[in-house]
Structures are given as structure tokens and as C-alpha cells.
Amino acid sequence: MSDGNPETINRQWLLKRRPHGMVSEDDFEYRETPLPEPDLAAGEILVRNLYLGFDPAMRGWMTDARSYIPPVPLGEPMRAVAVAEVIASENPAYPTGSLVQGLYGWQDYAVARPDDPVPPMALPEGTPPTMPLSILGMTSLTAYFGLLDVGQPQAGETVLVSGAAGATGSVVVQIAKIKGCRVVGIAGGEEKCQWVRDSCGADAVIDYHSENVTARLGELCPDGINVFFDNVGGEILEAGIEHIADFGRIVLCGQIAAYNDAEPRPGPHNMMYLVARRVRMQGFIVMDYLDRMDEAMHDLMTWMGEGRLAWREDIQEGFENIPATLLRLYDGRNQGKQLLKLAEPSTPG
Ligand SMILES: NC(=O)c1ccc[n+]([C@@H]2O[C@H](COP(=O)([O-])OP(=O)(O)OC[C@H]3O[C@@H](n4cnc5c(N)ncnc54)[C@H](OP(=O)(O)O)[C@@H]3O)[C@@H](O)[C@H]2O)c1
């Protein structure tokens, strides 16, 4: 693998095959191509990726099942969110040297157009390049709208959050605390549980690696769970259903425990509780809320300014490590938002 001479080549990781079961590095293929033509059409920009963001949903984008977004075509660079620097521009909205965010994929360079399905998002001058992928990124918007719009927590209610140490879950914990709720988190391992308790302010945290989640929920939530924000699915969803309160709300954000299953697993055995306790269980996709993004950004930036939001960025490095970095999400090695650094901006922000 070359070191990515910025003058001449574009390094890429392509989707080679659709995984069956756990995604592996062998599902991707490395390729070097010439740098995209700097001979841009009107409106186009040439960008150089600086930071890649990794999302559990990427495993779903690799399959060809019907979903909210088309699958990544085989032989194409793996789709991924990136913060990139504009290095050539035929569009005055995105001047050379400015930073943009978009779906630029696992490669050094991409040509972006204003009519792309996800148009380039210009980042305000001075924005630290990792922030639009982490605390001011999609995962925080997911936490904000999933909890407040779908979950509708009321002050004094008990909120349960699975995946509580992750990019999405940790922000859910903190927004629920800001809204005056009692919060119980579930995370894997003592270090993560301690961070959720001490830095994110959860009232209690269950380590699902070493504790019986159903039994602990019984002890910690004797009056039931009013809102369950579930990032995980499987047995953890089943445990939450077991202790859901009357008129509880279950927010189905993700099912990471099942993303790499080769065969569909049986559903929760205790769905009758949802009937008897008059529970609402609802999935959502953050992209449906993009027209309300300013509302969330305003609140998130206010809370950040007040020092009320903690977050962690897990920044890997090296183009050769891109596929392996995706795998970190599925065994919980990531500590906070999973990112990979490819380059620094050439001009300081
Ligand atoms: N609905 C939407 O629009 C939307 C948008 C963004 C994200 N999501 C979903 O939100 C969830 C969290 O995403 P994120 O980007 O914030 O990632 P993340 O939580 O930062 O990272 C994933 C975490 O999931 C946990 N995990 C992995 N495999 C697991 C398993 N088998 N059982 C239990 N936990 C497991 C690990 O934490 P532990 O070490 O604690 O196990 C891992 O660190 C995902 O389900 C994702 O698909 C949904």
C-alpha cells in the first residue's frame, strides 16, 4: 500500500462482497486509482478526506435487503461519512481550503456535486474537524430526536439507555438528565460503566458483561421503566420489556446485537407485556429530522457551552486500518465515537 501521495493517486477500499454473518476485512478490497480529474464542471468540488466516521449501520448498507438507503454497490468505495477539505472548487459556496461534510467514502479524494443525494455541508470557519462527526454529528441528533420526539420523557420519569457508553447512548443519558429524568444505563465493561456514571451522570449503570440485566433492572427500577432508548436489541431489549412501566415508550434506535447475525434471531418472547401495559414501541431514522437540525444544534451547543455534555472520540489512524476500524464497533472496542484520521487540514481553521 502506498502512502497516498496526494499529488497522484487516490487510495480506496471497495466493497468486494456482501458479508454473511460477521463483517470481515476480507469483505473489502484495496485499490489505487489516479486522482480524480481536477478539471471540474460548474458547481463541482474536489475534496480530500481528513476524518472518516464509522457507524454501526454501515453493516446494513453492505447488504442488499430493502432499507432506508440503497446498498453500497459491489466494486464501489465503501460509503462513509467524512469531513473533508475542498482542494479545488467550481462552486463559490465551497471555497478552496474550506471544510465540508458529506458521504465521501473510504478513499482519499472525491468529487462532490450540489445535486448529490447528500449535498456537501459547509462547516463554519474554525470548526474542529472531528466535532461534526462526534458531539455535533448525526449520533447526537439521533440521541436528541429519538429521546425527545419519540420517547417524550417527562421530568421525574425513569429512562433506560442501552449502548449507554456509545456515541449515541452517552448523549441520550445526558439529555435525559438535563430534562430531569432518573437514568439507568447499560454498557459493556467496568471502564465504560464508570464513564457513563461519573462523566455522563447516569444514576446507575449495569455492566451487561458481568451482571444479570433482567435481575438488576428489577432492583433498580421497582416502579418500571418509563422510556427505554434501545440501541442493542436481542436479550437486552427483552430485559427492558420485562420491566417496562404502564404506558411506557420503547424507542427502537438500533439493534447492533443482530447486525452481524447470519440468520434472523427469534424476537422477544415477552411482547404480550406491551399489550397489557399499553406500551408504545417505535423505530425512527434520524434523517427524517434533518429539517429540524437547527433546533437540535442550538440546544446541543448551548449545553456544550454550559459544560453539561461529555463526549469521547476514538481516533484510529492509517489508511490500511480502515476496514479493521469498522469491526471495532461490533465488539465494543470503540470508546466513544469511532473515527479515523487520514490527514490534517492544510490551512488551520
Ligand atoms: N435510528 C437512527 O437513525 C440511528 C442513527 C445512528 C445510530 N443508530 C444506532 O444507534 C446504535 C449506536 O450507534 P453509535 O454510532 O452510537 O455506536 P456506538 O454506540 O458508539 O458503538 C457501538 C457500541 O455498541 C455496543 N455493542 C456492539 N455489539 C454489541 C452487542 N452484540 N450487544 C450489545 N452491545 C453491543 C458496544 O458497546 P459496549 O462495549 O457497551 O457493548 C459498541 O461500543 C446502533 O444500533 C446504531 O445502528 C441509529
Q: Is the CB of 139 under 6 A from ligand 1?
A: yes
Beta bridge partners of 34: 9
The atom number, within ligand 1, closest to the CA of 146 reads 1
Q: Which of 213, 231, 259, 285 to mutate to test ligand 1, by most ligand atoms within 8 A of the CB atom?
A: 231
Q: Cα separation of 112 and 32, whole Å?
A: 19
State whether the beta carbon of 204 lies less than 6 angstroms from ligand 1: no
Tens digits of residue pLDDT in 20-47: 999 999 999 999 999 877 789 999 999 9
Report the chain's terminal Cα–Cα distance, integer Å: 30
What is the average pLDDT across 68-95? 96
Q: What's the rounded mean pLDDT across residues 228-245?
A: 98
pLDDT above 70 for 7: no
Q: Which residues contact 83 (CB under 8 A, 6 or more apart)?
A: 49, 50, 51, 53, 99, 100, 101, 123, 129, 130, 132, 133
Tell me which CATH code domain 138-288+298-303 carries: 3.40.50.720
What is residue 348's predicted lDDT score, i.e. its pLDDT?
A: 56
- What pLDDT is recorded for position 251? 98
Tell me what pLDDT residue 4 has: 54
The yes-or-no verdict on residue 267 having pLDDT over 80 is yes
| Cross-strand partners of 51 | 83, 341
Query: Chain centroid to CA 143: how far?
Result: 10
Sketch the domain layout of the chain as residue ranges: 9-134+312-341, 138-288+298-303
What was the pLDDT predicted at 70?
A: 93
In this structure, which residue's CA is closest to atom 32 in ligand 1? 257
Cβ–Cβ < 8 Å for 43, 71: no
Q: Are 12 and 33 in contact (CB under 8 A)?
A: yes
Mean pLDDT of all residues in 233-237: 98
The alpha carbon dihedral of 210, 215, 219, 220 has a sign of positive
CA distance 264 to 205: 29
Share of the chain above pLDDT 70, in %: 97
Q: How far is the CA of 140 from the centre of ligand 1 (A)?
A: 13
User: What CATH topology corresponds to 9-134+312-341?
Assistant: Quinone Oxidoreductase; Chain A, domain 1 (3.90.180)
The residue count of the chain comes to 349
Of 176, 185, 157, the closest CA to residue 246 belongs to 157
| CB proximity list for 199: less than 8 A, separation 6 or greater | 310
Q: Average model confidence (pLDDT) for the chain?
A: 95
**How high is the pLDDT of residue 114?**
83
pLDDT at residue number 1: 67
**What does the pLDDT average to over 142-165?**
98
